[in-house]
Structure 1
Amino acid sequence: MTTEASQNSRRQPRGPVQARSQKRIDAALAAAEKLLVELGPDKTSIPEIAARADVPRTTIYQYFPDKYALFAHMAESQYGRIADAIGVATAGAQDADWRELVRIVVDAVADFYNTNEVAAILLLMGPFGSADSAAHARKDKGLADLFRARLGLDAPADTPDRINLAIQIAFACLRWGYLQDGFLSPAIRAEAVRATTAYIAPFVTGKSQTDHSSGGEKS
């Protein structure tokens, strides 16, 4: 047998093996979602997930060293869905005032949470552990970049990033409402909009005035 044939023979089983592993991980993630809703994050465990999904614990541990790494992976997935929801909500709002845009985004996120209990648990009750904290930080930055682009603002040259902090303020309001009531009410949405717009108004207004002034000098 040639070296190439030998290598090919060793590679052949990888497809089915990887497909089986992926199927098991998908089952574990689905079980984890159900357990998060039924038991909450504290009582959800890898052994419980493995038993519910009927997969070996070792398969799960191969990809996720602990439940917090699994939660972080799930949180990343939910963030992507939130970004999609925001994109859909703002698609027809090209000419909206920035304050109205804040309201549209907050409503889109709140609607998503109210219809997706797993996302609410992962992103409003978390983070859980250091890996999950990193996932939340990426979520805040991703949403800030998305919102900044929609406002036509440049990336900040210095820290802290005011838009990123505004995103965190909005999420803090939503988190408080969820922990208090178990859902995001119109009142807590309004508070999130108020707090967010109050925080970024000087920055956005100041930029608008500067741009207008610059345009006047060029005309």
Structure 2
Amino acid sequence: LLETQDFRACTILEISNISQVPRNHIYQYFPTINHLFIIIVRNYFYKLMDIVQFGHPKYLDWEVMDILREVVGKSCKFYNENRPASLLILGGPIDVDGFNLQEEVIQIISKNLAEVFTSKKNPIVLNNENDINYLIELIFAIMKHSYYKYQKITEDLEKEALFVAEAYLFKKGYI
């Protein structure tokens, strides 16, 4: 349903009809459709984390902006190739739990990226532990805007996200 329609078309009843699983069985595990969406979103975030590969040793020799270009590029490609992920993550969050999950994941991504930046051969020293979190929030906001306006992350807005990231890191004294 998420591949072909809007998330509003997804209901427990519709899922029950398509899957031929009785509604009461679905309701046992997912009291609302939003509970199911949370599980789907979490799975997409795990897939994205696998694609980005923060722990890859190649990053040890890379400059900060080269790392960001790769991470942002892979993230944009992932969202553009996965309509349900874009719909639920960039088009959402759908409810408060979804928003909290989104913020939780941004924290995890920020922590992983901070570890990459501070453990590379030419590390940066963070002045504020929240700086990388704010950086990811800025990048993510531009991705969400692109999805809202164009139903994908355009190349121009991917470049804009990197421009904002570079300006932010420069003004903070990291590059």
Number of residue-to-residue matches in the alignment: 170
Higher radius of gyration, 1 or 2: 1
Structure 1 vs Structure 2 CA RMSD: 2.2
Amino acid at match of 1:111: K
Find the counterpart in structure 2 of residue 40 from structure 1.
6
Q: Which has the higher helix share?
A: 1
Find the counterpart in structure 2 of residue 146 from structure 1.
112
Q: Distance in 2 between matches of 1:136 and 1:185?
A: 21
Q: Which runs of 5+ in 2 are unaligned?
A: 119-123
Q: Distance in 2 between matches of 1:189 and 1:97?
A: 19
User: Could you tell me which of 71, 78, 88 is aligned with 1:122?
Assistant: 88
In the TM superposition, 1:49-68 aligns within 5 A as: 49-68=15-34
Q: Distance in 1 between matches of 2:100 and 2:5?
A: 24
| 1:100 positional shift | 1.5
- Indicate if the aligned counterparts of 2:142 and 2:161 stay in contact, CA closer than 8 A: yes
> Please, which moves more after superposition, 116-125 or 179-188?
179-188
In the TM superposition, 1:6-155 aligns within 5 A as: 35-87=1-53, 91-152=57-118
Q: Distance in 2 between matches of 1:179 and 1:187?
A: 14
| 1:136 positional shift | 0.7
Q: Distance in 1 between matches of 2:128 and 2:60?
A: 26
Deviations 1:58-96 (A, max 9, x none): 111111111111111111110011111110795533211
Change (3 A) 1:62 1:54: same
| 1:174 positional shift | 1.0
Q: Which runs of 5+ in 1 are unaligned?
A: 1-34, 209-219
Q: Distance in 2 between matches of 1:118 and 1:204?
A: 38
User: Could you tell me which of 195, 201, 210 is aligned with 2:164?
Assistant: 195
- Indicate if the aligned counterparts of 1:170 and 1:192 stay in contact, CA closer than 8 A: yes
- Indicate if the aligned counterparts of 2:34 and 2:94 stay in contact, CA closer than 8 A: yes
Normalising by the residue count of structure 2, what TM-score does the alignment of the two structures yield? 0.87
Deviations 1:13-71 (A, max 9, x none): xxxxxxxxxxxxxxxxxxxxxx1222211221111111111101111111111111111
Change (3 A) 1:145 1:80: same
Q: Distance in 2 between matches of 1:197 and 1:135?
A: 27
Q: Distance in 2 between matches of 1:181 and 1:85?
A: 24
